Copies of this chain bind each other. A is one copy, B any other.
Amino acid sequence: MPAPLPRRAFLARTAALAGASLATTSRTRAAAASTATDDAVGRHKSELPTPALLVDLDTLDANIAKMAAHCRAAGCAHRPHAKTHKCPEIARRQIAAGASGVCCATVGEAEAMVAAGVRGVLLTSPIFDPRKFARMAALVGRAPDTLLSLGHALAAERLSAEAKRRGVTVDVLIDLDVGDHRTGITPGEPALALARAIARLPGLRLRGLQAYSGAASHTAGFEKRRAFSRAALAPAVETRALLRRAGFDAPLLSGGSTGTYNIDPGEGGLTELQVGSYVFMDVNYRVIGGQADALYADFAPSLSVLATVVNTSPAKPEQVVIDAGTKAFSSDSQDKPESKDGRALTYRRFGDEFGALTAAPGAALPKIGDRLEFLVPHCDPTVNLYDRLHAMRGDKVEAVWPIMARRG
């Protein structure tokens, strides 16, 4: 776990981040204005063009504070995943609350965060392209505390070559495959062999391990999830011991998720949490259940999509149509958008531009022109559909934050 920053240095850094971030915001907003609506800051929610992506600032800040307090109490660092929000303003708030930095899933995200003044960036996803290794080495030149996860000896060789060319030393984590069989190297001897390869390569410095179990994160039921995550992490903990016995000083063990934030830290577990969704929450996470509750309620939903009823039809009186479809809500899961205020409405995707709502027996159907807010099925890919996030203080827009680094 990195040492905490002295208070004065911390405040200076936060102020610098705020300035850098603001500059980026203005630049991006000016660009966005060529195709977008007029400035929304100061407006009431009822005046926003729909569909619009909203975040409730009080809830966002409470989620950030709660996770930071949890990590402090658990003696575990946290480096929240910025692939969830792609928003330097939110990264800044997470770091101000005590996060070590942010994780990024793509080189573009990492570049956007560093450009906005965010430090402590960890690239969690594998890359395999000479130009991307060169971009990461360049980024380390600008922000030396940038980290990279690696799960393949060939990737280590390529990164080393670029680090050497740039004259930088890149801090790396070994990404372990702890059961997803998606990224990472097999724990145990294969990981040790990769550690030895990294040690031989110039320009790389091994800092620890990454172990992420996607399967654990969304296991329904707290006890099942705990058992699953403990079992998934065990080989990572053993691999860290194996590396220590082989003489490696590489203490970081980074991983975990919003689903396992209260399972993974501590003895025999992670030294750093890569929690992402907790800032926003979504239906996918609510349904996994909490330690004490049927619905996971440790963090409150701060993210919503505002939509408008744009059609009703006498040919189908039991349904109304809203202006939010496949381009407004992610469609990667079976979970559906849910009415934020708990109205008994069922959403059905109705093409790229539309959704259909039906009401439970006895519940009122909205009328044409009505505006409704929905919790989103899955936060990360939903945020990824938007250019802007409206930061709401109550019903007023306090700021408009650009969503950075979408796909090229």
Contact = CB atoms under 8 A, between A and B. Distances in A.
Interface stretch (A71-79, A196-204, A258-266, A348-356): A348-356
B51 A408 contact: yes
Interface in A139-182: 151-152, 154, 177, 181-182
A49 B408 contact: yes
A36 B31 CA distance: 14
Chain A contact residues: over half helix, strand or loop, or mixed?
loop
Given A127-B310, A331-B331, A408-B386, A183 B321 contact: yes
A388 B310 CA distance: 30
Given A327-B407, A349-B332, A177 B315 contact: yes
Given A128-B309, A350-B182, A111 B369 contact: no
A183 B156 CA distance: 55
Given A186-B314, A315-B186, A384-B327, A35 B154 contact: no
Contacts of A129: 49-50, 308, 369
Q: Oligomeric state, in number of copies? A: 2
Contact of A47 (B105, B131, B186, B328): B131
Nearest to A370: B128
Interface in A286-339: 308-316, 319, 321, 323, 326-328, 330-332
Interface of A: 24, 27-28, 30-32, 34-37, 47-53, 83, 105-108, 111-112, 115, 125-129, 131-132, 135, 151-152, 154, 177, 181-186, 190, 214, 308-316, 319, 321, 323, 326-328, 330-332, 349-354, 356, 368-369, 380-381, 384-388, 404-408
